[in-house]
Structures are given as C-alpha cells and as structure tokens.
Amino acid sequence: MLAEVSKNVFLHVSQNRVLNKAAKKWGLKFGASQVVAGDTIESAIRKVNQLNQKGLVCTLDHLGEFVSSREEAVEATQYNVRTLEAMGESGVKCNLSVKMTQLGLDIDSNFCLENMRRILETAKKYNNFVRIDMEDYLHCQISLDMYKELRKEFDNVGIVIQAYLYRTEQDMNDLHQYQANLRLVKGAYKESPEVSFPEKKDVDENYKKIIKMHLLNGHYTAVASHDEEMIQYTKRLVRENGISNDQFEFQMLYGICVELQDRLVKEGYKVRVYVPYGIDWFGYFMRRLAERPANVWFVLKNFAK
C-alpha cells in the first residue's frame, strides 16, 4: 500500500511544470546522476563510449518534454541535431530517442513534424536511427499518427508501444503493415483505469502478448524491461520459434540493473542502454523513482548531504 502511494506521488510530481522548471537550475541533485549521464552532449558521449567498451550499444535521450514555446522547441531540435552529429563524428554505437512534446507537439503538430523531419534527415546522413518515445495517453494517438506520416518518407524511425494501455493490441495490429521497429515497454505514466490496466498482473500478461505478437510477425523488437521474468520469457520464445538474435534486442535504463545488462551481453544478446542527459532531468528522474521506490534512498541520502 505504501509503495503504491509513493509511486502515485512521484508520478504526480513528475508532471509538475513549476518543479521541472526549478530543477533545471539545481543541476543533477538528489541522486539524479545515478540515472542521468551528465548535462552536456560531451558528457553523454563519454558515457556512451564507456558502455560501448563493455559490449553495450546505446540510445541517447536529450531530456525535456512539454515545451510551451516555439523557441524552446527549435532549440531542442537543434540540440538533437547536434547530438546526432556528435555521435557520427565520434563513431559511438548509439542512436537517438526523442519526445515529440519537446519538439513542439503541444504547440502545432505540423511544426513538430517539420522538426522531426530535420532530425531524421540528419540521422539519415549519418546512417543512424531515431526512436519516438511514447508519452502520456493524451499524446498516444497523435504520436502514432505522426509516426505513420514520417514512415512515408523515412525508414530510420521507430516508436514505443506501452503494454499497460487497453488499446495496445489494436495499435500493434495497425502498425503491422509498417513493419515497425518497436520498443515495447510496460509504461511509466500515471493513467486512468479507464484507459489502462490497473493491475500489474494484467500489464505483465499483455506485455508478454505483444512481445510474442511482434516477434512472430517477423518485425524488429526491442524488449525494454528490467523484469527478469520478461527477459526469460523472451529468451524461451525466440529459442522455441527459431528466431534469430538479429531480430531483437534487450533495452534497459542507464544506471539500473547494470549486472543484468553485463550478464546478457556475455550470453551473446544485444543490449541497448537508454542514456538520458541534459538539464531537464526532473520529470524523468521522478518516473524512475516511481518505478523503483528503493531508489528513494538515494534522494534522502543526497538531500541530507
């Protein structure tokens, strides 16, 4: 009960725009550096290099969401372009993840689409890949619509599907024709039981269902979870169906379950680490605390310091 209350508190706080704005001035405080790889492109590239040396590949995420002005969205777009350029010049094994609300989705969808086109054109220049992060339920349909529009022009773009939503299986069926490269997650936002499974067991079952669906459809699948039960399920599924290791990868967050990441690499699996960086760290960090209440200790310890 206490864990559920704690989770709800952190998810609610993660969407507080006043606190998000204030946190930009604090720097990486209260233990955030455990899960955020610095506040500059250069610091992020250094972390990616270190992870590459351990046999891990990465995806970089310039933190930020729900921007309220065109200037902020243009600045975020430029920063993502510079990140792709830095990755290309450094030769790291890494792609890019982006949030559409950071690029102006809440301001004007066509404006956001143009910003995405600029990012994807840069990625194509460096033979790189960009994934659209899925955000809260209110942005689900428009994010999928924009992904489908972008797929008419680009083959180096993917998106995320969240298992905790009732609509997910139908979304998977709709995406089948696009041969979509999907990151499959359980979901990290606070949503109403009217649109999402309230019970963990139901989310877990739906997660297994969509992993199986996408792999058996022959599409590239990123299984993004720290849940060892889901990882073992994926291993059994690919083994029993003769699915090549080239058709899927495991994905995990920077700073979380590091030993598990290393073990999977040693077993011969491709593991991609989601590496967030930047000054707009607050919302991301609060959602990580909501997912793993044990991490609250890091907040209390660093606050005491």
Residues shown for the chain:
305
Name beta bridge partners: 274: 59, 253
Which of these is catalytic: 39, 133, 171, 204? Answer: 133
**133 is a catalytic site residue:** yes
Q: What are phi and psi of 95, to 5 degrees?
A: -115, -165
Tokens 């290099």 belong to: 49
Token pair of 140, please? 């689900």
* 213 closest CA partner among 184, 239, 244, 240: 184
| In contact, 166 and 183? CB cutoff 8 Å | no
Which of these is catalytic: 39, 106, 131, 183? Answer: 183
Cβ neighbours for 299, distance < 8 A, ≥ 6 positions apart: 30, 31, 289
User: Parallel, antiparallel, or unpaired for β 271-277 and 57-62?
Assistant: parallel
* 65 closest CA partner among 107, 32, 117: 107
Q: Give the residue numbers marked as catalytic.
A: 133, 183
